[in-house]
Each structure stands twice: as structure tokens, then as C-alpha cells.
Structure 1
Amino acid sequence: MKRGLYFIACSGMCAAQFAHAQSSVTLYGLLDAGLQYTNNVGKGGSLFRQTTGNVNGSRFGLRGKEDLGGGLGAIFVLEGGFNINNGKSAQDGRLFGRQAFVGLNSTKYGTVTLGRQYDALTDTLIPLSATSINFGDTAFAHPFDNDDMIHSYRLSNTVKYTSLVYSGLKFEAQYAFSNSTDFAVNRAYSAGLAYSKGPLNAGIAYFQLNGTKNTTINSPGALDVNETQANNTAGFVLGADVQRIAGAGVSYEIGKATLGFVYTHTQFQGSTSFGSQNGTVRFDNYELNGKYQVLPQLTFGAEYVFTNGHVTKTSTFGSSPKWNQIGLQTVYSLSKRTDVYLEGVYQHVSGHNFSAFIYNSGGASSTGNQIVGMMGMRARF
């Protein structure tokens, strides 16, 4: 009898330990702080400042999972961004402004999540770009971040489905509700397809955001006005009745080098940006990028972007601006969690009344040229 009770007690303890092992909650984060120099700011002055998030936005988060049995699991993510220089919350003061979602993960059918999330463009196309989290990210944004390639949009009220990987292919679709009686205003949807096999990675994606230009500050929809302004540099907002982004990209690993090409087309329909007078503003972005691991702890990276713009119904601006942008990066790892970096970005724009404006530079240039130099440190936990 005693042996039986002892066996039952031990079995219960083992079962409890096993169940605990199938569930976990992880605290994680990233800190990015540095110094930045920008020339030609405002009326031609130079700006030297301490910055946060030169490459990656500083953040902290909780990630959890629970095994529900039968190949089904519950997952959640709560992630907030902040300014490391002053401790203030980013994403318009939200506690978990970067991500906040819960969902179910199935080994047979894929994953469904609900909450505040990234769109399919972020998950399927950005990893192929120099704007990916593991490359230049924020510093290498295309002009005005017109195509959201630095994933500055986080969509509220979102349901997202991500498939399993079939022969290297993975599909994703997302829909963000307006949460109002005007169903079509301030909603968003996207879809993407990614392929990965050996050294080859490829992806295509489409994203559409409806009606944010005329939403109120307290809009309950996919993206509110305050957040749109917070996501753009120095208050410059590319507002529109409808924003559409379509893109495709590919990357290939050759030994210690990775080469990539990304194309995106962005259309702002019903926009007043650049004096378009409620017309259309379009951007075609062509990006070449490459990384090379010189040593296990030392990596070089480079990006070249040509952006061809078109503005309809313009008044004070030219109708066909063109941007050329070059970005260089050096990263030296002090450990698996900590590294230091140097970055430089140069931009030249041509077109009547257009000024160079590197994203997160601190201000538009007084001419058609601008240079930004950055150095900093990142720590992960």
C-alpha cells in the first residue's frame, strides 16, 4: 500500500513537472542607444545629438506558450517600445505599443492570432531587405518610409493567419477591423507568400490601409492619427484616403556573403502630400543590399536605393522627384548579446522644391543632399 501511494505521488510530481515544461513565459528585450550627426538641417546647420533606436527600436516584452495537447498550443506576446534616453513609452505612449496579441498554434493547420500585430508585408518581405531587424532596420528606411519597410505601422484590432511551411512555402494573411459602424474607414488588410530553401529566400506581399487621413485622433480603427504622426520623421505625414503597397524580393547566400534585391510600389490615393491637392502620390523603390561576415564577430553591410516618385495635381512641387540613397554599416559583436555599430547614410533628391530627408535624421535638409553618421551600442536580454 505504501509503495502504491509512493508511486502515485511520484507520478503526480513527474506529471506536474512535465506539464510545467510544456509551458513557458519569457522576458526579453533590446536596448539601442548612440550618437548621431546630421548635416544640412533646417537652414543649413548641423545637428549632433544622443539618440535611441538608430538601428533597432528599444523594447521589452513577454512571450508565452502553453501546450494544450494534440498538437495545439496557446501563445501570446506583449511588447512595448520606449526611448532609452528619457524612459518614455514609444508608439504614442502605449504600454504594449509594438505588439499585443494572443492566439492558437497548431502543428496541423498553422497559427491564428488576434490583437495588435504586424502585417504580412513585415513578415514575408522585410526579412529580404536591408531594413530587416538583423540589418540596417530604421537607419536604412526608404525615403519617408513610404513603403513601411521598417515596420513602423502596428495594426490594432487585427486577426492574422500564418500557415505551416509546405515545401519551403509559407502563406500569411491579415485583416485589421475599423471597429466602427463605418466599416470601410480605417481598416487594413494584407497577404504575403514566402519561400525558403537552402541559400535562397524569396517573398511577395500586398498591403492596403483605408481612410486614415480623415480619421479622428481617438479613432478606434487599425491606425490612429497620433500614431501615424509618431511613426514619421519630424511630423511629416504621408496621409491618404487609401494607401497601397505591393512588393517582391529575393536574397541569396554565397559563402559568408548575402546579396538581396527588393522592389516595392507604394500609392497614396487622395493625398495632399507634396501639394498633390487630393491627387495621387506614387513611389517605386528599387533596393540592392549585401552583407559580408569578415570575421565571426565582424560584419559589413551596404544598401543602395533608387526611388522614383510621381505626384499628380501638384502646385508648388515638381511632379517627378527622384531619390538616390546609400547606406553603410559595420557591426562588431562583443558577445552573443551585445554589439557596437557604425552607420552612415547619404541621400540625394532631384525635383522642384524637394529637399533631402533621411528618415530619423532629425530634420529635412536645406538642399537636395543630406548625410547622417551614427555610432551606438545594442544589448539584448
Structure 2
Amino acid sequence: MYQRILIAGAAALLSTQVHAQSSVTIYGVADVSIRYLTHADRATGRSKLSMENGAVSNSRWGFRGVEDLGNGLSALFNLEGGMNLDDGTQSTAGRIFNRQSFMGLSSRTAGTLTIGLQNNPLFDFMVGPYDPMTLGNYSQNSWMGTVFSVAGRRGKDNSIKYTNTFGDFRVAAFYGMGEQPDNHRKNEAWSGTVSYTKGPFSTGGGFVLTHDALGNKQTVYNLNLRYKLGPATLFLGHFNSKDHTGFVDAFLNGGATPSATAPRRDNAWFTGLTYDVMPSLKLTSAFYYDRSKNVRAVQGDAGEGTRYALVLLADYYLSRRTTLYATVDYNKVKDAARVDIPGGNSQTGVAIGLRHRF
């Protein structure tokens, strides 16, 4: 009897120790907004009042876990799925964990290696330190960061990602397998970033290179600066894109036209400012400008255009996890870029919303 009690006690102690070294967290964001948008219908150019996902963040839920393996090594996983709070549907039909689904190992000295469905490092730059809107969520306030950092895919299936920090420097490398038997480059993706942060100053640059199912290529280069000055943070960034896949045209104007002879070229800049008025109130302004050539594979002056967007956002924190916000965005297009906005050469959106993090 005594031996049974001793064994049971040892098992309970071991279970407690294992539990103390491991953790699983359920987390998420519930974000919904009421939005009015001019020229919302591509066919008629009419305005629309609608309930949408959040202005900056998409509603999501997920699990993340870590197990301490000892000697500075740990195992980790992350499963995350997007949802539409207005009707309860998945943001991608048929995929429960459509945003991220990966596992890996992390070492205090050797860095972190993960495999599965995950973001490329350039996308991490935009949702993290360098875009004043943290990439936004409406197409009107996120088009630049999305179309150039994603380069065909927000998260890549079958990918391998490595990150590490060396003093003030942080590096990331990424490879997404195409898994095509005839040509490994089809659907393949590469990305890498390097950033440096010292006190209030941070700078980072990187690239993403993707191939579509036909083997056509898009290449994007990026450089960013960020500086914090008291309650204000200043942002400046640049994208240079050369697209043979037709993805940029498809995303911006629905006109996918892959071209080997006249790839679409974009020279894009953005800047912005965030200002903490008080602990409960944060203001954000952002300006995005893009000069494009060979829009819809049309060469010469007929294929050149410009687009810019001005975005204003006010966040009022009701608590550490709940935020009430209001935003307005204005987009303007010229020349060949007019195809980006249906029914006109400008578009205005106004929205109010509520966000809760758990």
C-alpha cells in the first residue's frame, strides 16, 4: 500500500514538473466595424454601407504552445485561423487554421527554426515594426503593404523559416516549397530580412521572391526606417517591385495579365506618424504613394499611373484589451492606375469599430 502511495505521489510530482515546463495559450482578436465606402461596386460605382472585419486587424483565434526541453532549447507550435465576426464564417472556406499552422524548435543561442504554414519575413516587417498602420485590414488602407510584402501569398504552405538575434541585429530567412514534380521553382518562394534596432532608432530591409504555378516570377525589395521621439513615432519605407505573375494587377484592379515582356513595375513609398496623446488615446496618420508602369502589361505612357492614399485612425483604449476606434481613408488614382478604383478616380471610406483581444 505504501509503495502504491509513493508511486502515485511521484507521478503527481512529475506531472506537476512537466506542466510547469510547458504552456498552451488560447488567444484571439474579435474585431468588427461599420463602414461607409464610396465607389464600392466595380460594376456600378455605387457607394455601400456595410458591416466589415476590423479596420486594422482581422478577427482570429488560435492556440500557441511552448515546451521547455532544457539547456535553453524549447519546442513550439502555433495554430491560427481567421473568421468573419459579422456572420461567423471562416475567412478562408475549408481551412480552419488558414493564417498560420507551424511548429518548430527554438534555442536561446542558435535561433528559431519553424516549418509549416507561416508568414514570410517581409510580411512580418509590415505587421510588426515598420508600417504605421501595421498593414491595415481594409483593402483601401492596406493595399501597398499587402500587395508588395505578400508577393502572391500572405502565408506560404510548406515553408521553412529561421530567425535569430545578434545583439542589435535581427535576421530572418524563409523558403517556401513549390512541391511541383516537373519544376521545383513553380509556386516556390524565398524571403529574407535584416533589421537593426538601437534605442529609439530602427531600420530594416529585405526581399521576397515568388514564382506562380506557371513559373512566372515576382521580386520585391524593401527598406524601412522608424524613429521614436517621446510620444511620437515616425515611419518611412520604400518598395520596389517587378512582377511577371500578374498578381499585382489582379489584387489592385482584377486584371491579372502575366507578361514576360512587359512586367508590371512599381516604385512605392510610404510614411506615417503615431502619437500617444494620453495613455488611453493614440492617433495614427499614414500616406502611401505608388508610381506604376506596364499596368495590365501595357507598355509606354498608356501603362503608367500613380496612386496615393491618406489614412487617419484614432484608437481609444477602454481597457488594456478593448479598443474603440474611428478611421477615414482617401485613395486617389491617375492615368493607367484609374483601373484600381471602380467608377471613379477617387474613393473615400469612413468607419467606426470595436476590437477586443483575448
Report the TM-score range of the alignment, normalised by the length of the smaller protein: 0.7 to 0.9
Q: SS in structure 2 opposite 1:178?
A: coil
Q: SS in structure 1 opposite 2:197?
A: strand
Q: Is the 8 A contact 1:137 1:150 kept in 2?
A: no
Tell me the equivalent position of 2:131. 129
Tell me the equivalent position of 1:249. 224
Q: CA RMSD in A?
A: 2.7
Tell me the equivalent position of 1:40. 39
Offset at 1:146? Answer: 2.4
Instruction: Give the AA of the match of 2:38.
Output: N
Instruction: Give the AA of the match of 1:129.
Output: D
Mark the CA change 1:352 to 1:183 in structure 2 (over 3 Å): closer, same or farther: closer
Q: Is the 8 A contact 1:142 1:305 kept in 2?
A: no
Tell me the equivalent position of 2:289. 306
Mark the CA change 1:244 to 1:24 in structure 2 (over 3 Å): closer, same or farther: same
Q: SS in structure 2 opposite 1:179?
A: coil
Q: Is the 8 A contact 1:130 1:140 kept in 2?
A: no
Q: Is the 8 A contact 1:322 1:349 kept in 2?
A: yes
Q: SS in structure 2 opposite 1:330?
A: strand
Deviation larger for 341-350 or 48-57: 48-57
Please give the alpha-carbon distance, in whole angstroms, between the structure 2 residues aligned to 1:5 and 1:211: 62
Instruction: Give the AA of the match of 2:122.
Output: L
Q: SS in structure 2 opposite 1:123?
A: helix
Offset at 1:184? Answer: 1.0
Tell me the equivalent position of 1:114. 115
Tell me the equivalent position of 1:22. 21
Offset at 1:318? Answer: 2.5
Tell me the equivalent position of 2:303. 319
For structure 1, the residue ranges without an aligned partner over 5 or more in a row are 216-240, 358-363
1:265 matched to 2:265: no
Please give the alpha-carbon distance, in whole angstroms, between the structure 1 residues aligned to 2:211 and 2:201: 34
Match of 2:345 among 368, 371, 380: 368
Offset at 1:192? Answer: 0.6
Please give the alpha-carbon distance, in whole angstroms, between the structure 2 residues aligned to 1:276 and 1:151: 14
Show CA shifts across 1:78-131 (max 9, x none). Answer: 000011111111134311000000100111201110100000102245421124
Q: SS in structure 1 opposite 2:94?
A: coil
Please give the alpha-carbon distance, in whole angstroms, between the structure 1 residues aligned to 2:299 and 2:112: 48
Show CA shifts across 1:11-64 (max 9, x none). Answer: 765554233111000000001101110112343421111112332111000000
Please give the alpha-carbon distance, in whole angstroms, between the structure 2 residues aligned to 1:204 and 1:302: 22
Instruction: Give the AA of the match of 2:180.
Output: S
Mark the CA change 1:326 to 1:132 in structure 2 (over 3 Å): closer, same or farther: same
For structure 2, the residue ranges without an aligned partner over 5 or more in a row are 250-254
Offset at 1:295? Answer: 1.0
1:1-381 equivalence runs, <5 A? 13-42=12-41, 43-127=44-128, 128-132=130-134, 136-138=136-138, 140-143=141-144, 145-148=146-149, 153-163=154-164, 165-181=165-181, 182-212=183-213, 214=214, 241-271=216-246, 273=249, 278=259, 279-311=262-294, 313-314=297-298, 318-352=302-336, 354-355=338-339, 357=340, 364-381=341-358
Mark the CA change 1:257 to 1:149 in structure 2 (over 3 Å): closer, same or farther: farther
Q: SS in structure 2 opposite 1:335?
A: coil
Please give the alpha-carbon distance, in whole angstroms, between the structure 1 residues aligned to 2:222 and 2:332: 23
Mark the CA change 1:55 to 1:168 in structure 2 (over 3 Å): closer, same or farther: same
Structure whose residues are more often helix by fraction: 2
Give aligned pairs, total: 343
TM-score of the pair, normalised by structure 2: 0.88
Tell me the equivalent position of 2:252. none
Mark the CA change 1:95 to 1:24 in structure 2 (over 3 Å): closer, same or farther: same
Instruction: Give the AA of the match of 2:324.
Output: V
Please give the alpha-carbon distance, in whole angstroms, between the structure 2 residues aligned to 1:203 and 1:149: 17
Instruction: Give the AA of the match of 2:350.
Output: G
Q: Is the 8 A contact 1:344 1:374 kept in 2?
A: yes
Offset at 1:347? Answer: 0.8
Instruction: Give the AA of the match of 2:308.
Output: N
Offset at 1:7? Answer: 9.4
Instruction: Give the AA of the match of 2:307.
Output: W
Deviation larger for 96-105 or 189-198: 189-198
Mark the CA change 1:205 to 1:301 in structure 2 (over 3 Å): closer, same or farther: same
Identity of aligned residues (%): 27
